[in-house]
Every structure is written in C-alpha cells, then in structure tokens.
Amino acid sequence: MMEAIMSLRQEFSLLFWSSVYTAILLVPSLALLIFDSRVVVGANPWVKPVKFELSIGREPLGKAGEV
C-alpha cells in the first residue's frame, strides 16, 4: 500500500497534494457537521462540503489502482 501511495505521489503529484489538502479540510468540516445545529432547506449546511471533500479525497485511490 505504501509503495502505491509513493508511486501516486510521484506520478500524480498535483492530484496527490490536492487530496491531502482536502483531507485536512475534512476534519473541521466533520466537526461542524456534528456540532452545528443550523438547518437550511431541511439539511445541515455542512453536508455538501463534506460530500465534496470525501469525493475529492477518494480520487487518488482510483488512480493508485491504475498504476
């Protein structure tokens, strides 16, 4: 697994670092999702950012499988 991550880091550097950045952003977004009780049009306003960060963070795993 580590060699796949290192290969990903070398071959898709920009994708790798953007995924690391979104993983870092995921932490406060999850905290706000849990602790923010506001509701906008029937949903917590932090659901959309969390879904986006999860989808971007998963992308390198798909690329690692192709390498």
How confident is the model over 3-62, as pLDDT tens digits? Answer: 877 877 788 788 888 888 888 989 999 999 999 999 999 999 999 999 988 887 777 666
Q: What is the pLDDT of residue 13?
A: 80
Q: Which long-range contacts (CB under 8 A, 24 or more apart) does 52-57 make?
A: 52/22, 53/22, 53/23, 53/25, 53/26, 53/29, 54/26, 56/18, 56/19, 56/22, 57/19, 57/22, 57/23, 57/26
Residue 33: domain span: 2-66
Q: What is the pLDDT of residue 62?
A: 65
Considering its fold, how many domains does the chain have in total? 1
- Supply the pTM of this predicted model: 0.68
